[in-house]
Amino acid sequence: MAPVNITIDGRKLQAQAGQTVYEAAAAAGIEIPILCHHPALPPEGACRVCVVEIEKQRNLQTACTYPVAEGMVISTRSPRVMEARKFALELIVSDHPLDCMTCEATGDCRLQDLAYEYQVRDDVFAGGRQHSWPIDDPNPFIQVDRNKCILCRRCVRACDYINGVEAISIVHRGFDATIAFGMDSTMEDSPCEFCGSCVEVCPVAALWPKQSIGKGRAYQLKQVETVCSYCGVGCKVILHVKDNEIVKVTGADGAANHGFTCVKGRFGYDYVNHADRLRKPLMRRYLVEGGAKPALHQPNNGNGRGEYSRAANPAAEWVEVSWEQALDTVATRLAQTKEAHGGDAFAALCSARCTNEENYLMMKLARQVMQTHNIDHCARL
Amino acid sequence: MTNTFEDIAQQAKLLFIIGSNTTEQHPIFGMQLRQAVKQRGVPLIVADPRRIPITQFATIHLRHRPGTDTALLNGLMNVLVTEDLYDKEFVAARTEGFEELRDRLAEYTPEYVQEITGVPAEKIRQAARLMAATKPGALMYAMGITQHTSGVGNVMSCANLQMLLGNLGVPGGGVNPLRGQSNVQGACDMGGLPNVYSGYQSIALEASHKKFEAAWGAVPPADKPGLTVVEMMNAAEQGKVRAMYIFGENPMLSDPDINHVRHCLEALDFLVVQDIFMTETAQLADVVLPGASFAEKEGTFTNSERRVQPLRRALDPLGESRPDWEILAEIGARTLALTGQAKAAAEAPHGGWEYLNPAEVLDEIAALTPSYAGIRHGRLAHAPKGLQWPCPGEDHPGTPILHVGKFARGLGKLTPVDWLPPPELPDAEYPLLLTTGRVLWHYHTGTQTRRSGGLSAIAPEGYIEMHAEDAARLDVTTDDMVEVKSRRGQVNVKVEITEKVQPGVVFMTFHFAESAANLLTNASALDPVAKIPGFKVSAVRVTKLSPDGAPAGVCESC
């Protein structure tokens, strides 16, 4: 692309033809506030918070939509610009609940940050109409609070340009305009796949993960970037952690996923702290107390349905043991197997859900220690 | 994958998905493919027996019968050759074996392929012409190609097609298997396979045998590969395998013919299972070791694109559970000592089991594995995009696209593959064809997702997809309970009438233990090379159940 010479706030810069004023400024490290705009989405120009003054232009222009041109001279913080931004924010706040004290997004809200920065007062349009939508949508993942929606259409664009199912749109016009799912129905009744990209980009708490409600403010959470535990796409995700528990998952900017993730990656994390998790090594009583291995299970009335029950043999009961005892028992049994029957009497399955390092160690255990090539995993399954 | 998600999504001029329910099983890549269609107008060809969600975005949906993939691919290639549409330059410069392939393809005229697959001949021609006219094109496949007794032949056919089209070694092209689990690529890369050490170094190759023998102090003989998963089970039943160590896997739901698997695992003298939950498999163990979840440990995962990325510890392991690498290192050291091998191992440069952290393990992997030689934890910490193997040195940037300019073996081998019918097809006794798969909301055996509140709420139970024609004949409607029976076992499950499946075909997932599709599937017939079972094709009979669960008109106790 051809270089274009522009001036922003007195700084002479070279931008690329085709860039917007916002993109050119961002590339030069000059911050223009955005609210409806999101770098991963096509520009909308809905909120007018990013307005800038451009010489020889009668009106202020939205930086997120306006393309740079040769010789353009731009002011991002002139008094006229600052006044216009404040006015735009006052209009938005006039129909936005001021419940920041109990709002989930406090500390992680674009509108809150901008209202503070531009010293917006809440009484400029006092007495005007305010919305009173019932909160929620009957789905397990996403809380919908239309009272907090600022109609920035980030969610509409994310559903169209990130996911592609177009489950979200704006219905009605003017003061009645609101986001809607499918044919103005529930999320579950729409093409929604609950990828949560809409939640990811929502600048306020209009769309919020239900599992995270009451679990901690953004500034109370530790953020750890890692890789999702599900499919082989390898999305990078951020685990938001409080008190040794994952309370939220968001997308990170990985090469495979560029900041977004799917329903399993975003909402399917609660298994990690599930009550069913194994917390102690377990051994059958016969191993602890000596004796022969009992039958572990017996088929139910032989109906072949794959149902089976615990054999009522006390020797087969589980006993919690120390790590020391468990590790020694396993090592002893493996060594005995090898001595008595040779290494090929041992077989190992490694794990498509564990790390490279762990799989390597299992491979080394089979081949070096047990002297067998009997190692495989579910890649075939 | 030979290519990356990004170059496919942004540079492919055509997308061909065969045997991959991409938007449900690899949702983020599925979204990127949808965007390629929506934003760039890229034509999409989907070959799938089911009307999977992404077919809504397809230019052409080739709806072939389950188990006829090779015939369909041969048909497409027949058109390319007959109509002189293949990439002659690529075939001449980069491949060998064209004449044999051409001769074998002659038989697979679109009309003959129509008879086998049920896809109209004209549609096959249309798809082949579109592929030839629109390049580069990327081919994506998943278990719909591999989980057949002809799985290896199916994969070779995919490679044949892309070579005839000249779609290899270029951005936006490639043969791209989408891997189903977070680190199934890594588990393979690390030599978690019976015939190779890490980095696919063959056990039979003298150089790799000697290398690992020198590194560890001892290795098993080079002349006999180990057992694959289904073979292990059979060996356990026969008393040849006496002890097993299973970690992070649940064959009691994921393997074919579960009744058989249980029988085999119960025949073992000793079974140790290391997992985070008491899985169906752990319930058969003698010792259960509590491992750590992905959030509780460090290490690396390798994604479908061969991209190695670091896992970071966010939580302390729950209760007394421990990171799996620690447990394995303990077992390794103790067993080594008990078998009298500790001294020999201590004298070998990588024979020991004392690791301070996973970074040290990766250092050992790098030292012994040429394709991972340049991949270290320290480097990954400063590589936001991870590193794609082959990465043969610490100054090597990694390899996003394979086979650029030259194939690993030199010339690309075009291998003629004949279509063989699946070993078990519907007959008078078992008149319906059962194919299996997954849904968006659940992952593999459900060990994780069925313990997730939201995912379980949205998809609480299994079902069998059935076409309205079959449902009418069986006098069942959506939500009726039916008994599904095969030669291996039977399950009771709810019906969902849908146009996703064709008449004569039914579909189930294997996520749900209480209606486990793998009680029905067939373990006796495997692909001769890869030993993969044919999960995608088995014959079943469906019977309506009365509301109390008894087969309608049949007394359960008789």
pLDDT in tens, B108-147: 999 999 999 999 999 999 999 999 999 999 999 999 999 8
Residue B271 has φ and ψ, to the nearest 5°, of -130, 125
Q: Which chain B residues in 63-122 lie under 8 Å from chain A, judged by CB atoms?
A: none
A353 touches chain B (CB under 8 A): yes
Q: Do B248 and A353 touch (CB under 8 A)?
A: yes
Q: How far is B149 from chain A (nearest CA, A)?
A: 11
Residue B549 banded pLDDT, cuts 50, 70, 90? low
Mutation target among B146, B234, B245, B387 for the A interface, most CBs of A within 10 A: B245
Q: For residues B186-195, give the mean pLDDT.
A: 95
Residue B550 banded pLDDT, cuts 50, 70, 90? low
Q: Do B325 and A361 touch (CB under 8 A)?
A: yes
A91 touches chain B (CB under 8 A): no
Contacts of A232 in chain B (CB under 8 A): 26, 178-185, 303-304
**Is the CATH number of domain B5-178 3.40.228.10?**
yes
Nearest-CB residue to B182 (from A231, A326, A348): A231
**Which regions of B113-227 does DSSP assign to beta strands (E)?**
137-141, 175-177, 196-197, 201-202
CB B218 within 8 A of CB B352: no
What amino acid occupies position A114? Answer: L
Contacts of B329 in chain A (CB under 8 A): 361
Cα distances (Å, whole numbers) of residue B164 to B97, B134, B310: 11, 13, 37
Q: Which CATH number fits domain B184-226+291-388: 3.40.50.740, 3.30.465.10, 3.30.70.580, 2.60.40.790?
A: 3.40.50.740
Return the domain boundaries, chain B.
5-178, 184-226+291-388, 432-544
Q: Which chain A residues in 312-341 lie under 8 Å from chain B, judged by CB atoms?
A: 318, 323, 326-335, 337-341
Return the domain boundaries, chain A.
3-92, 125-267, 279-321, 323-381
Q: Which chain B residues in 219-278 lie under 8 Å from chain A, judged by CB atoms?
A: 219-220, 224-230, 232, 235-236, 240-249, 251, 254-256, 258-259, 262, 266, 269-270, 272, 275-278
Q: Do A373 and B251 touch (CB under 8 A)?
A: no
pLDDT reported for residue B548: 67
Q: Do A381 and B229 touch (CB under 8 A)?
A: yes
pLDDT reported for residue A309: 54
Of A336, A222, A142, the residue nearest B286 (C-alpha): A336
pLDDT for residue B29 is more than 50? yes
Contacts of B303 in chain A (CB under 8 A): 227, 232-234, 256
Give CA–CA dist B285/B168, Å, rounded: 46
B474-516, pLDDT tens digit by residue?
999 999 999 999 999 999 999 999 999 999 999 999 899 888 8
SS3 of residue B241 by DSSP: coil
pLDDT reported for residue B557: 37
What is the third-level CATH fold of A125-267?
A: Alpha-Beta Plaits (3.30.70)
In this structure, are strands B175-177 and B196-197 parallel, antiparallel, or unpaired? Answer: unpaired
The secondary structure of A236-286 as a DSSP string is EEEEEEETTEEEEEEE---TTTTT---HHHHHTTTTTT-TT---S-EEEHH
CB B8 within 8 A of CB B174: yes
pLDDT reported for residue A298: 60
Q: Do B443 and A253 touch (CB under 8 A)?
A: no
Residue B3 has φ and ψ, to the nearest 5°, of -120, -175
Give CA–CA dist B239/A340, Å, rounded: 13
Q: pLDDT over 70 for what percent of chain B?
A: 98
Q: Do A357 and B358 touch (CB under 8 A)?
A: yes
A227-281, pLDDT tens digit by residue?
999 999 999 999 999 999 999 999 999 999 999 999 999 999 999 999 999 999 9
Contacts of B36 in chain A (CB under 8 A): none
Q: Describe the crossing of helices A356-364 and B324-338 by its angle, rounded to 10 degrees.
A: 10
Angle formed at CA B307 by CA B306 and CA B312, multiple of 5 degrees? 135
CB B160 within 8 A of CB B175: no
Q: For residues A107-129, give the mean pLDDT.
A: 89
Longest distance between any two alpha carbons in chain A, whole Å: 94
pLDDT for residue B415 is more than 80? yes
Give CA–CA dist B121/B135, Å, rounded: 23
Residue for token digits 């809440």?
A: A122
Contacts of B532 in chain A (CB under 8 A): 380-381
pLDDT for residue A302 is more than 50? no
B265-324, pLDDT tens digit by residue?
999 999 999 999 999 999 999 999 999 999 999 999 999 999 999 999 999 999 999 999
pLDDT reported for residue A121: 84
Q: pLDDT over 90 for what percent of chain A?
A: 87
Cβ burial of A138 (10 Å; 0-12, 13-18, 19+) is exposed
Contacts of A213 in chain B (CB under 8 A): none
Sort residue B166 into left (φ over 0), alpha (ψ -120 to 50) or beta. Answer: left
The secondary structure of A103-126 as a DSSP string is -TTTTS-HHHHHHHHTT--TTTTT
CB B305 within 8 A of CB B274: no
pLDDT reported for residue A279: 97
Instruction: Tell whether the torsion through CA atoms of B395, B398, B401 and B407 is positive or negative.
Output: positive
A308-359, pLDDT tens digit by residue?
455 568 888 999 999 999 999 999 999 999 999 999 999 999 999 999 999 9
Give CA–CA dist A9/A28, Å, rounded: 11
CATH architecture of A3-92: Roll (3.10)
Residue for token digits 């091998």?
A: B341
Q: A-B interface: how many C-beta pairs under 8 angstroms?
A: 520
CB B486 within 8 A of CB B520: yes
Q: For residues B417-441, give the mean pLDDT.
A: 93
Q: CATH assignment of B432-544?
A: 2.40.40.20
A224 touches chain B (CB under 8 A): yes
CB B96 within 8 A of CB B415: no
B347 touches chain A (CB under 8 A): no
User: What is the CB-side half-sphere exposure of residue B424 using CA atoms within 13 A?
Assistant: 26
Q: Do B28 and A332 touch (CB under 8 A)?
A: no
pLDDT for residue A190 is more than 90? yes
Tokens coding B129: 């012409």
- The count of other CB atoms within 10 Å of the CB of residue B141 is 22
Give CA–CA dist A268/A248, Å, rounded: 10
A158-187, pLDDT tens digit by residue?
999 999 999 999 999 999 999 999 999 999
Q: How far is B336 from chain A (nearest CA, A)?
A: 6
Residue B54 has φ and ψ, to the nearest 5°, of -70, -15
Give CA–CA dist B224/A36, Å, rounded: 63
Give CA–CA dist A180/A169, Å, rounded: 5
Q: Do B197 and A367 touch (CB under 8 A)?
A: yes
Average per-residue pLDDT for chain A = 93
CB B105 within 8 A of CB B78: yes
Q: pLDDT over 90 for what percent of chain B?
A: 87
Of B18, B230, B96, B268, the residue nearest A378 (C-alpha): B230
Q: Do A246 and B295 touch (CB under 8 A)?
A: yes
A288 touches chain B (CB under 8 A): no
pLDDT for residue B553 is more than 50? no
Q: How far is B327 from chain A (nearest CA, A)?
A: 8
A304 touches chain B (CB under 8 A): yes
CB A236 within 8 A of CB B309: yes
Q: For residues B238-264, give the mean pLDDT.
A: 92
Contacts of A287 in chain B (CB under 8 A): 286-287
**Which regions of chain A does DSSP assign to beta strands (E)?**
3-8, 11-16, 51-54, 61-62, 73-75, 142-144, 168-171, 178-181, 207-209, 222-227, 236-242, 245-251, 282-284, 297-299, 308-310, 318-320, 346-349, 375-376
Q: Do B290 and A254 touch (CB under 8 A)?
A: no
Nearest-CB residue to A355 (from B287, B325, B443): B325
Tokens coding B349: 């440069």
- The count of other CB atoms within 10 Å of the CB of residue A216 is 18
Q: For residues B425-430, give the mean pLDDT.
A: 94
pLDDT for residue A62 is more than 80? yes
